[in-house]
Chain A
Amino acid sequence: MEITLANLKRGQKGIIKDVSSLHIPLKLLEMGCLPGNAVELVQVAPFADPMYLNINGSHLAIRKETAVHILINIAHE
């Protein structure tokens, strides 16, 4: 199933399918947020924002407004 990263639930895993280079800072790409890499939602702050992710072994937090520009495939329901 294809969703945006912002819809990922806590503990769920997925594979990044596409990132909108217009809206995603290069820095995030360089930290491993690239198509084909695995992503897991580790923890969310209140109101699910920001999101604490494990992308390709990098642990980082991004805001929901950035996460909506990242498309992922959920590994399995």
Chain B
Amino acid sequence: MSKQINVALIGNPNTGKTSVFNALTGLNQKVGNYPGITVEKKEGICKLPRGVKAHIIDLPGTYSLNASSLDENLVIELLLNKNDKDFPDVAVVVSDVENLKRNLLLFTQIKDLEIPTILVINMADRMAYKGISLDIACLENELKTKIALVSTRKNQGIEKLRELISDYRKLSVEPCLNASEIDPEYFNSLREAFPNQLLYKLWLVITQDVNFGDIQRQESDTLEDFKTKTKIDLKRLQQKETIKRYQFINNTLKKGQTIDLSTAKDLRIRFDRILTHKVWGYLIFFFILLLIFQAIYDWSAIPMDFIDSTFASLSEWSKQTLPQGQFTNLIAEGIIPGLGGIVIFIPQIAFLFLFIAVLEESGYMSRVVFLMDRIMRRFGLSGKSVVPLMSGTACAIPAIMATRNIESWKERLITILVTPFTTCSARLPVYLIIIALVIPEGRFLGLISYQALTLMLLYLIGFGAALGSAYLLHKTLNIKSRSFFVVEMPNYKLPLFKNVLITVVEKTKAFVFGAGKIILAISIVLWFLASYGPGEHFNNAENIVTEQYATENLTEEELQQHIASYKLEHSYIGITGQAIEPLIQPLGYDWKIGIAIVSSFAAREVFVGTLATIYSVGSDEEETIKNRMAGEVNPVLGTPLFNFASGISLMLFYAFAMQCMSTLAIVKRETNSWKWPILQLVTMSSFAYLVALAAFQILK
């Protein structure tokens, strides 16, 4: 039996920490969540020399052990809790050779915790380019550690790192500097009160007074007595501590690092003259956005059509091959269309995450944050809100999780609250089918098709609603929060294909399995509700309908259709739909649309699937959903059910309504309160109802 070594990968953002993780674990990794919170937990297994295995955790990127966000807090939580099953036997601190000075700050802090620590100096391939040379032996001596000089791009140094990890017992656990010198008196009394505790650990627990959410902190009760210093005093001490650490680092680097500036090149500044320029910067960003939308709509249409037709024929095939019966019907009419409704989103989600991953990996995203901050601030948002709002066009769930790096709580909260307005890919199938039904073909001024124009307007409406409501929240929310805004402008890098691929696969998987479960479950429930009903009307439908049309000399086929629709009307779902019909009639909808709306409160994409289920229940024909929808008649007005007025009304309803349980669940978790998701649900949905009502009444 070989023991597994617990390894924690720690490092500043933009040091290539994840590349090191990928290089160590390959595809042998899994992404989950930390219990109770939605911080992504990446872990993997790495084979070490001599048959030893290492369990590696990729901890969220952090600049120091003084946490200012939930993600960063997690790093301290783990490092302070020896009882955690993931508590590292050895910490691997990843640093970037170009930013060694800043990256070493975190390293010295972790050394103070007396955990065996290995230093990885990554991006070694850039040394010659930057005129940097290192005296590794000298640095190892000064920092009391072992160093692995790694280049993930050139695949160098990973073997050495594996060796070092497997030999972790030989590492020194001595801190590299004595941070308690900043206030000897205070620290001495602390040491006397807690003789068995690590001094630096106590200091961290005392100073970490930020909002940690619902996470329990240990040993805090006993330490309460020691919070004799005011916040300002503590902060001064922290500043002193930081200066002290930098003094040590500067001295160390003076001995172990030489930089020949005459051979150093800096492409970053040259690129940034253009990419962050007042005019060119915005133009380039605008073109990148156009490219992304083009990819999401145009390029993904081909695989989406393919998926659509594949599932349609699969459903048909299973109906014909499997033995007849309710079980076959469940598969062909409930499960397969339900699965199709999930799989069809994969191309779009994958494209969006591909672009976002490339933009993040290359370092460009920080420039967007820089360019947009001033504009977004007018609406009470931050430059960092741009990333969530862009991701929101794929799915609000990862978008809301991407708000974590926004420092100001107010700006972050507003971003979380308004992100669901952006047109997520789940709205797209609803828009597409209704646009095809109610918007005429033909081109505006002979150029852009009316249908494409409508879709574009819907996107603009989504962003407009997000910004508008952000402005309102900004003016009304009375939250005092200091808005810090610090964003690192990392060096531009060519994205590593492997990293991008892994991100795209992981995010897409998370979406498919997360949202997919709900969609599939709802599809099955809907099928049951549509296939069974109470009482005489449903169970005796055949006799009732046959009698009713006895005089009308119908063909067998026509009769079967009448029976099917009579059954549906009296099924459980039909009864539900009819019960809410009075509420939605003023919007121009009938009870079938009503059912689709009700079921899409779980998730919007269920709309088309529901209509597909409703219309395909009891029919063997290959008529497409669209044709069936076009043939529906409004029971009150006698006009086609899906006309211009009701179509616009329906699209506006979907644009504004909060119809996604998964999003509400994420908002609850991220804000740690039911207040905000309920606010979203109530205000967004009632606003949607009013707008849809007004639209139908004006246009009809």
Chain A residues packing against B (C-beta within 8 Å): 19, 21-22, 25-32, 34-35, 42-43, 45-47, 49-50, 52, 56-63, 65-66
Contact = CB atoms under 8 A, between A and B. Distances in A.
Given A31-B63, A57-B99, A63-B373, A25 B486 contact: yes
Interface in B56-92: 63-64, 66, 68
Given A47-B374, A59-B488, A63-B485, A29 B239 contact: yes
A45 B64 contact: no
A58 B276 CA distance: 17
Closest CB pairs A-B (n = 7): A59-B489, A25-B484, A30-B64, A63-B485, A61-B370, A43-B276, A61-B487
B105 interface: yes
Interface in B332-366: 366
Q: Is the interface of B mostly helix, strand, loop or mixed?
A: helix
Q: Chain B, interface size: which category? A: 35 or more
B278 to A, nearest CB: 5
Contacts of B521: none
B374 A26 contact: no
A63 to B, nearest CB: 5
B101 A28 contact: no
Contact of A26 (B242, B278, B371, B487): B242
Interface in B110-137: none
B53 interface: no
Given A21-B235, A45-B374, A59-B490, A50 B243 contact: no
A49 B196 CA distance: 49
Contact of A25 (B68, B236, B246): B68
A60 to B, nearest CB: 5
Nearest to A60: B488
A45 B491 CA distance: 19
A45 B276 contact: yes
A46 B378 CA distance: 13
Nearest to B245: A30
Given A31-B102, A45-B278, A50 B370 contact: yes
Interface stretch (B266-274, B317-325, B530-538, B587-595): B266-274
Nearest to A63: B485
Given A25-B484, A29-B242, A32-B101, 4 more contacts: A21-B239, A25-B486, A29-B239, A30-B102
A57 B101 contact: yes
A27 B246 contact: no
A42 B491 CA distance: 14
A30 B272 contact: no
Given A34-B243, A46-B374, A61 B369 contact: yes
B530 to A, nearest CB: 55
Nearest to B105: A30
**Among A30, A43, A47, which residue has the most Cβ atoms of chain B within 10 A?**
A30
B238 interface: yes
Contacts of A45: 276, 278, 370-371, 373-374
A32 B247 CA distance: 11
Contact of A42 (B105, B269, B278): B269
15 contacts: A27-B64, A27-B66, A27-B484, A32-B102, A43-B272, A45-B371, A45-B373, A50-B383, A59-B489, A59-B491, A60-B488, A61-B373, A61-B487, A62-B485, A63-B485
Contacts of B370: 43, 45, 50, 52, 61
A21 B102 CA distance: 19
B246 A32 contact: yes
B588 to A, nearest CB: 45
Contacts of A57: 99, 101-102
Interface string B361-397: 0000010011101100000000100000000000000
Nearest to B207: A26
A21 B487 CA distance: 19
A57 B371 CA distance: 21
Interface in B209-267: 232, 235-236, 238-239, 242-243, 246
A69 B574 CA distance: 65
Contact of B488 (A22, A50, A58, A63): A58
Interface of B: 63-64, 66, 68, 99, 101-102, 105, 232, 235-236, 238-239, 242-243, 246, 268-269, 272-273, 276-278, 366, 369-371, 373-374, 383, 407, 482-491
B26 to A, nearest CB: 32
A1 B236 CA distance: 26
Contacts of B374: 45-47, 49-50
B275 to A, nearest CB: 9
A29 B68 CA distance: 13
A58 to B, nearest CB: 5
A42 B5 CA distance: 45
Contacts of A29: 238-239, 242
B66 A30 contact: yes
A77 B101 CA distance: 29
Contacts of B101: 32, 56-57
Contact of B236 (A21, A27, A30, A65): A21
B238 A59 contact: no
A28 B242 contact: no
B65 to A, nearest CB: 10
A67 B277 CA distance: 20
Nearest to A22: B232
B407 A25 contact: yes
B112 to A, nearest CB: 14
B145 to A, nearest CB: 20
**Among A19, A26, A60, which residue has the most Cβ atoms of chain B within 10 A?**
A26
Contacts of B239: 19, 21, 26, 29, 34
A50 B487 CA distance: 10
Nearest to A19: B239
A31 B249 CA distance: 13
B231 to A, nearest CB: 10
A60 B486 contact: yes
B484 A28 contact: yes
Nearest to A45: B374
Contacts of B407: 25, 27
**Among B64, B101, B369, B374, which residue has the most Cβ atoms of chain A within 10 A?**
B374
Contacts of B276: 43, 45, 52
Contacts of B485: 50, 61-63, 66
A31 B485 CA distance: 13
Contacts of A47: 374
Contacts of A61: 366, 369-370, 373, 485-487, 489
A10 to B, nearest CB: 10
Contacts of B242: 26, 29-30, 34
Contacts of B63: 27, 30-31
A11 B272 CA distance: 13
A29 B64 CA distance: 11
Given A32-B102, A34-B246, A27 B373 contact: no
Contacts of A34: 239, 242-243, 246
